[in-house]
Amino acid sequence: ACSEKGDESSGKVSEYRTVYSGEIKTLNYLKTAEANEFAMSANIIDGLIEYNQYGIVQPSLAESWSSNEDNTVWTFKLREDVKWVTSDGKEYADVVAQDFVDGLNYVLDAKNESSTAWIATVVKNGDAFYNGEITDFSQVGVKAVDEYTLEYTLENPTPYFLSMLNYVCFFPVNGEFLAEKGESFGTTKENVLYNGAYVLDKFEPQNERVLVKNDTYWDKENVFIDRIRYKYNKEAGTVAPELFLRGEVDSASIPTSVIDEWFNDEEKKAQVRQSQNNFYTYFYALNFDPQFDAQYEPENWKVAVNNKNFRKSLYHALDRVSAMLTTEPYNPEDMLNNTITPKNFVDVEGVDYTQLEPLKNVTNTDSFNKDLALEFKEKAMTELQGKATFPVKVLMPYNSGSPDWANRSQVVEQQLETLLGADYIDIIVEAGPSTGFLQEVRRPGKYALLEANWGPDYADPASYTDPFTEGGTYNKPELAEGYTESNGKSKYQNMVDAAKAEMDLAKRYELFAQAEAFLIEEAFVIPYAVGGTGYIASKLNPFEAQYSPFGVTLEKFKGQKVLEKPMSNEEYKEALAKWEQERAEALAEAGEQ
């Protein structure tokens, strides 16, 4: 709705207000890797491409592009007449090919400490330049062929290169401006230039930020919200629902703990809905390299975890619905995920990756199966007789900074112990540090069973299979006994390597799917859920927004309108079904082209 205070004469100014508690630390999009900051750059800077609401690549600053045979050289033809403007709306310069070169140069310069540099190393000599082995940037695989022609040369064949372009590291920057601002680039609203849908009108960290529509934007017809107001509130989680009800904000996430209240109240119920899932996937990792304290018997765990039946018993015993109830009490099934790679990630001609043959079975069956669990338990107990002591102590830490996780851990503990019996396992829930959890717990392997998550970086299944390969920092499945193949590598590793080598998309995806299915069927990990922000009350229609798992796409306001009233969950579900169908059609159509 329009602002009620609106004394703007037209009364037609569309404003969207929200409170947030996660502050952004910089506007320097070339440096950041944080979601909150992506959300900012998504709306003020445009990259070469964008997506439509079904996740199909669309031209943005690049009007057209082409790649060579093996996908190593990509050429982009830029849109002309796109302007850099300052925060007060003054035109500063045109956006040209060199701006992309300058951007990448900045990112790959190690001293700038860009957090997304590792993605940009996909270009030729990117890594070498970053590590200082090459000092001449012209040897790096990016080139302004002319003012409006840009060419990337890549290190390896990369069919999914386009999906990477929506990352901030491939965003343009005006070199002159950047040089002028130096260190202070991106520290204030004046110290950045804008070429996106919005311009920052106010930027006061820990207070308020205001985005206003960019009048010089090349695609301003598709920008419908005129002003976006973010008010900082550290206790947003506590006060936002009330603020929404009082009409002080247009969007508020509704914490799980109060969701009952909203659903029990007719009036409120009409205003709250599920939010979209994101592409983070959650899974329980069984650690093959336990390094925890002797009191929790890491050796015993090691013996147990190397027994497939033991793993399988856990795999089938985990009641994921009951665990999910702690975060999503109303539609827990909607959040569950039977694979590591979530659905809607990539597809082969409209067939979703998770429905590919090797994964299909896994995807479509619930892993929770009491009978199987008990069956495997029996087997494991006989096999492990004399080798392992029962009950097996299972150290399951959680991050004490996350109340939901804490709750979930208690639920899972109780559920598993009840089902499998206290004679079999003894789950020990332990609070880990709220900051430095990764460093303190996951990376050093101080756990037996751990809820972990992972998010993708580019449109290739490799993005999801990598964490479990050698050098990964998860549960080290390569150390599992009995899976080493003749080349000395683990079976899983070999499967992934093979997939990566395959350039034909259909075959490639098939191979990746096989690897993933192997990982799950061997119960090295127990897939659990996809990420999501739970319930929200919002006057936005999520299906109008651009859609894609990669980069900053999901954060764009472009194309969205502020609704008169928030969607209810029924409306949402309806819209979701419609959208999924339309998307499948659109993907199939796009695939045919």
295 counts as binding other proteins under rule CB under 8 A: no
Contacts with other proteins in 231-270 (CB under 8 A)? 231-235, 237-239, 241-243, 246, 248, 255-258, 260-262, 264
Smallest gap from Cβ 360 to other proteins, in A, equals 29
Which residue among 409, 465, 514, 560 contacts other proteins (CB under 8 A)? Answer: 409
Q: How many residues does the chain have?
A: 593
Parallel/antiparallel/unpaired status of strands 83-85 and 91-94 = antiparallel
Instruction: Tell me how far, at minimum, the Cβ of 232 lies from other proteins, in Å.
Output: 6
> 60 with 48: CB under 8 angstroms?
yes
Interface with other proteins, residue 187, by CB under 8 A: yes
Minimum Å gap between C-beta 233 and other proteins is 4
Question: Is 329 a residue that touches other proteins (CB under 8 A)?
Answer: yes
Q: Is 414 in the site for other proteins (CB under 8 A)?
A: yes
Q: How far apart are CA 148 and CA 140, in angstroms?
A: 19
Site for other proteins in 35-64 (CB under 8 A): 35
Binding of residue 429 to other proteins (CB under 8 A) = yes
Numbers of helices and strands, H then E, in the chain:
21, 22
User: Which one of residues 4, 113, 371, 592 is an interface residue with other proteins (CB under 8 A)?
Assistant: 113
Residue pair 461/348 in contact (Cβ under 8 Å)? The answer is: no
- Is residue 207 at the binding interface for other proteins, with CB under 8 A as the rule? yes
User: Which residue shows structure tokens 């419609």?
Assistant: 578
**Region binding other proteins by CB under 8 A among candidate stretches 166-174, 406-414, 552-560, 575-583:** 406-414
Q: Please, is 333 exposed, middle or buried when counting C-beta atoms within 10 Å of its C-beta (0-12, 13-18, 19+)?
A: exposed
Residue among 144 and 321 whose Cβ is closer to other proteins: 321
Contacts of 371 (CB under 8 A, 6+ apart): none
Contact yes or no for 450/441 (Cβ under 8 A): yes
Q: In this chain, which of 55, 141, 290, 432 binds other proteins, going by CB under 8 A?
A: 432
Residue 134 phi, psi (nearest 5): -120, 135
Q: To the nearest whole angstrom, how small is the minimum distance from the Cβ of residue 158 to other proteins?
A: 18
User: Which of 28, 281 has the CB closer to other proteins?
Assistant: 28
Residue 380: C-alpha distances to residues 154, 263, 377, 392, 476 (Å): 49, 44, 5, 11, 22
Stretch of 90-98, 192-200, 229-237, 487-495 lying at the interface with other proteins (CB under 8 A):
229-237
**Minimum distance between the CB of residue 60 and other proteins, rounded to whole angstroms?**
25
- Contact between 439 and other proteins per CB under 8 A: yes
How far apart (Å, rounded) are the C-alpha atoms in residues 273 and 538? Answer: 8
Which residue, among 394, 429, 395, has the nearest Cα to 410 in the 3D structure?
Answer: 429
Among 103, 141, 172, 186, binds other proteins (CB under 8 A): 186
CB of 171 to other proteins, least distance (A): 16
Pick the binder of other proteins from 145, 179, 422, 431 (CB under 8 A). 431
Enter the tokens of residue 546: 């651009």
Q: Which of 91, 204, 378, 485 binds other proteins (CB under 8 A)?
A: 204
Residues 478-537 binding other proteins (CB under 8 A) are: none
Decide if residue 274 touches other proteins (CB under 8 A): no
Residue whose CB is less far from other proteins, 179 or 588: 179
Binding mask 117-146 for other proteins (x = CB under 8 A): xx----------------------------
Residues numbered 351-390 forming contacts with other proteins, rule: CB under 8 A: none
Q: Sign of the C-alpha dihedral, residues 297, 303, 309, 315?
A: positive
Among 435, 470, 482, 570, binds other proteins (CB under 8 A): 435
Q: Which of 93, 406, 479, 576 binds other proteins (CB under 8 A)?
A: 406
Site for other proteins in 19-38 (CB under 8 A): 19, 23, 25-26, 28, 31-35
Q: Which of 93, 372, 411, 575 binds other proteins (CB under 8 A)?
A: 411
Q: Which is nearer to other proteins, 27 or 48 (CB)?
A: 27
Q: Per CB under 8 A, does 185 bind other proteins? A: yes
User: Which residue's entry shows tokens 């819209």?
Assistant: 575
Minimal distance in Å, beta carbon 175 to other proteins? 18
Residue type (1 letter), 463: S
Residue keyed to tokens 């790679």: 341
- The residue range among 66-74, 217-225, 294-302, 436-444 that interacts with other proteins, by the rule CB under 8 A, is 436-444
Instruction: Answer for the pair 17, 578: CB distance below 8 angstroms, yes or no.
Output: no
Asked whether the beta carbons of 27 and 191 are under 8 A apart, the reply is yes
With contact defined as beta carbons under 8 Å apart, do 230 and 209 qualify? yes
Shortest distance, position 9 Cβ to other proteins, whole Å: 20
| Residue type present at position 245 | L
Residue type, 283: F
Q: Is 438 left (phi over 0), alpha (psi -120 to 50) or beta?
A: alpha
| Residue 392, Cβ density class (10 Å: 0-12 exposed, 13-18 middle, ≥19 buried) | buried
Burial class (CB within 10 angstroms; exposed 0-12, middle 13-18, buried 19+) of 436: exposed
Partnered with residue 93 across adjacent β-strands are 84
410 contacts other proteins (rule: CB under 8 A): yes
Closer CB to other proteins, 438 or 590, in the complex:
438
Does 107 sit near other proteins (CB under 8 A)? no
Residues 514 and 296: their CA atoms lie apart, in Å, by 35
Q: Which is nearer to other proteins, 78 or 448 (CB)?
A: 448
- By beta-carbon proximity to other proteins, the closer residue of 60 and 326 is 326
Alpha-carbon distances of 254 from 148, 257, 329, 536, 557, rounded to whole Å? 46, 8, 12, 5, 21
Query: Least distance to other proteins from the beta carbon of 410, Å?
Result: 6
- Tokens representing 103 are 């951007």
Of the candidates 66, 81, 111, 564, which one interacts with other proteins according to CB under 8 A? 111
- Binding of residue 433 to other proteins (CB under 8 A): yes
